[in-house]
Structures are given as structure tokens and as C-alpha cells.
């Protein structure tokens, strides 16, 4: 019996994107196979043990905080809407713990673990596969509306259909080959339009205008930080830097901390920290600085405005302009019909 959700997921105008469409899109861009591999490896590692009670509890807190499900009733309602039991959810959390931040997963095993189908359904919701995938498909649709669909070649389409027909995890047999060939053709045509959209929304003037409006956020800063575990340690480190003139390495050695370097765009630092790094004098200690779960004292070593001739900057600006064009095209039009 099929375990994956089916039917309409989100509508935009006369177009309906279904759960099946999101799976097909995932087959075309690799995100479906990534989910399958994550689930299979998570089941295998969970069977081997390794997730402690405290680790699972912290994972649960993070999951609920991220989805604003702090109240127990909110969590139960969220799970019930997706036919996920508390036991299913806890199993997902254990898989998340044992896999951690792993990005390099083994390829799909020839034999999938027991209980894989239900675990895959649970992971598809708990890892936001449906929401991320649906929004990706909507961005493709918006691009097709803006620049026109780009019809895939027969060879290209045949390869995707063959993958779908051979992959039993997608549970699309009831859909019929003709139907998923038709939908795959539409999805790939939209995706190709999205790949072309950047050419239609960027030129020299739009790049220059974008960077002029966002000059501060896109300024590049190089920061050296003395990272410590507590706010009090950061305050002590700041005194060592300002009053004693000690360098970051010596302060870190004394405080049992670490020295870290990073070069980022100021906007990536977050509103509060970006403002401090943009206004700080070069080579002058700033602190205490709160960043995720750490405290630090920071020195801005270099700062420069964005370079419109830099190929990486131009590529990133193009990507941002595509996102903005898609957002404008879709604003207020999406109607969600199923849970994600």
C-alpha cells in the first residue's frame, strides 16, 4: 500500500502542483534520491545505536522551535495532520541525531532496510521535503510564465521517465507511465525556463543598481575572532585586548578558547553583528560578540565594498534577482491544499 501523500499540494492560477509532481521534480534534480539515502542510512545507523536521550531531547527542542510548536498541543496537531505518531517522530529524531550534519551519504543500498516505507514518509515531512520541493517547482512555474517554457528533448525526457519507472520508492505506478511522462515533460520545461530566467532579468544596469542599494550588506569583511564559551570570558578577553594590548592568539591560549578567521558579506552576519562589523575601526577589538552558542571578541582586519566586476559577485547578484523576480510573480497567488 502506498505510504506517500497523494493529490493536490498547492495551486497557482490554473496550475496545480501535486505531491506526485514534487517527487518527479526531485527525481530530476536529485533531491528525491538524497532523501531516500538519508532515510536508509539513518535507519541503519539508528539500529546500531548511538543517539543519547539528551541528544534526542535537544533535537526535539530544535525541531519544535524551528516550526513554532513549543506547546504540546501544537506539536500533536502538526503530527496528526501528517498521520505521524509520536513514536514515528521520535524515530526520525534519532535518525537526525546519528546522522548529524552529514552531507556525504553512502549511495542507496541495494536492499532498503525494514520499515523503510513508513520512515521515508515521516522523513519527507520532518525534513520539509514537500515544502522545499513545492516551492522549488513554483519557482520553475513562475519562470515559465515570465519567459516561456523550454521544451525538453525526447532523449532528456526519456532518461527521466526511465529513472521514475525503475525507482519503486516513488510509488508512482498507479499514476501510469503516460501521465508521469506528461507531467515530467511539463516540470522539466518549467525548470529549463528557470535556468534561463537570469539572462532576462540581469544586465549591467540591474547589477549596478542592485549593489548600489545593498552596498553595506554586500560589503566583504574579514574578521579574526577569539572564541570563548561564556559571556564573562568574552568580557575578560576584551579587557585583555583593550587594556593589555594582547593579541588574539595569546588571549585564546589564556582563556582556553580558539582563534577563528572568516571572510563573509556583512549581511550574512545578521543585523546586529553586521552593523558592529561595518562601523568598527580596523584592528580594534569589538565585544562581547554573541554568535549562535558562542561568545567572542572580534577584530575587523579588512573591509571593502562589493566589486561589480567580480564573477562570483555577478553570479550571486543574478541568483538574487531571479529570486526577486519569482517572488514578485507568485506573491499572493499560491493556495496550499495539503500539509507540508
Cell representation of residue 9: 499540494
Phi-psi region of 285 (alpha: psi -120 to 50; beta: other; left: phi over 0): beta
Question: Distance between CA 175 and CA 8 in Å, rounded?
Answer: 14
Dump pLDDT digits (tens) for 108-128. 888 888 899 999 999 999 999
Question: Distance between CA 287 and CA 329 in Å, rounded?
Answer: 43
Question: Distance between CA 25 and CA 20 in Å, rounded?
Answer: 9
Question: Distance between CA 90 and CA 100 in Å, rounded?
Answer: 15
Dump pLDDT digits (tens) for 292-305. 668 999 999 999 99
What is the model's pTM? 0.83
Rg from Cα positions in the chain: 24
Determine contact, residues 288/295, Cβ cutoff 8 Å: yes
Question: Distance between CA 241 and CA 138 in Å, rounded?
Answer: 51
Cell representation of residue 34: 538524497
DSSP-derived pairing of the beta strands 294-304 and 15-18? unpaired
Asked if residue 288 has a cis previous peptide bond (ω within 30° of 0), the answer is: yes
Dump pLDDT digits (tens) for 200-241. 999 999 999 999 999 999 999 999 999 998 999 999 999 999
Dump pLDDT digits (tens) for 247-272. 999 999 999 999 999 999 998 887 67
Question: Distance between CA 249 and CA 236 in Å, rounded?
Answer: 14
Closest C-alpha among 194, 224, 233 to residue 325: 194
Determine contact, residues 132/32, Cβ cutoff 8 Å: no
Task: List Cβ neighbours of 182 (8 Å cut-off, separation of 6 or more).
Answer: none
Phi, psi (5° rounding) for residue 77?
A: -65, -40
Dump pLDDT digits (tens) for 43-69. 999 998 888 999 999 999 999 999 999
Q: Enumerate domains of the chain plus CATH numbers.
A: 8-199 (no CATH), 215-304 (3.10.50.40)
Residue carrying the nine cell digits 525503475: 166
pLDDT range class, residue 1, cuts 50, 70, 90: very low
Amino acid at each position: 500500500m502506498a505510504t506517500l501523500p497523494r493529490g493536490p499540494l498547492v495551486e497557482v492560477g490554473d496550475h496545480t502542483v501535486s505531491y506526485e509532481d514534487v517527487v518527479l521534480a526531485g527525481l530530476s534534480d536529485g533531491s528525491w534520491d538524497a532523501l531516500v539515502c538519508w532515510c536508509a542510512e539513518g535507519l541503519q545507523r539508528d539500529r546500531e545505536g548511538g543517539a543519547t536521550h539528551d541528544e534526542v531531547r535537544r533535537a526535539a527542542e530544535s525541531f519544535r522551535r524551528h516550526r513554532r510548536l513549543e506547546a504540546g498541543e501544537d506539536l500533536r496537531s502538526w503530527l496528526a495532520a501528517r498521520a505521524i505518531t509520536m513514536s514515528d517522530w521520535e524515530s526520525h529524531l534519532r535518525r537526525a541525531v546519528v546522522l548529524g550534519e552529514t552531507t556525504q551519504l553512502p549511495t542507496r543500498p541495494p536492499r532498503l532496510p525494514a520499515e523503510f516505507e513508513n520512515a521515508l514518509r515521516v522523513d519527507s515531512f520532518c525534513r520539509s521535503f514537500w515544502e522545499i520541493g513545492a516551492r522549488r517547482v513554483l519557482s520553475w512555474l513562475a519562470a515559465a510564465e515570465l519567459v516561456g517554457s523550454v521544451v525538453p528533448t525526447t532523449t532528456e525526457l526519456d532518461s527521466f521517465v526511465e529513472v521514475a519507472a525503475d525507482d519503486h520508492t516513488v510509488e508512482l505506478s498507479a499514476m501510469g507511465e503516460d501521465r508521469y511522462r506528461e507531467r515530467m515533460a511539463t516540470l522539466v520545461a518549467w525548470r529549463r525556463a528557470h535556468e534561463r530566467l537570469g539572462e532576462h532579468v540581469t544586465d549591467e544596469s540591474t547589477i549596478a543598481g542592485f549593489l548600489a542599494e545593498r552596498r553595506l550588506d554586500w560589503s566583504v569583511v574579514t574578521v579574526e575572532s577569539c572564541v570563548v564559551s561564556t559571556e564573562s570570558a568574552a568580557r575578560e578577553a576584551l579587557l585583555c585586548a583593550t587594556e593589555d594590548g594582547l593579541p588574539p592568539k595569546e588571549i585564546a591560549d589564556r582563556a582556553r578558547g580558539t582563534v577563528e578567521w572568516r571572510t563573509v558579506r556583512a549581511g550574512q552576519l545578521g543585523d546586529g553583528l553586521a552593523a558592529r562589523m561595518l562601523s568598527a575601526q580596523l584592528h580594534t577589538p569589538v565585544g562581547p560578540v554573541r554568535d549562535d552558542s558562542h561568545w567572542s571578541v572580534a577584530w575587523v582586519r579588512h573591509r571593502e565594498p562589493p566589486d561589480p566586476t567580480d564573477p562570483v559577485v555577478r553570479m550571486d547578484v543574478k541568483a538574487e534577482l531571479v529570486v526577486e523576480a519569482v517572488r514578485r510573480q507568485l506573491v499572493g497567488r499560491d493556495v496550499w491544499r495539503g500539509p507540508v
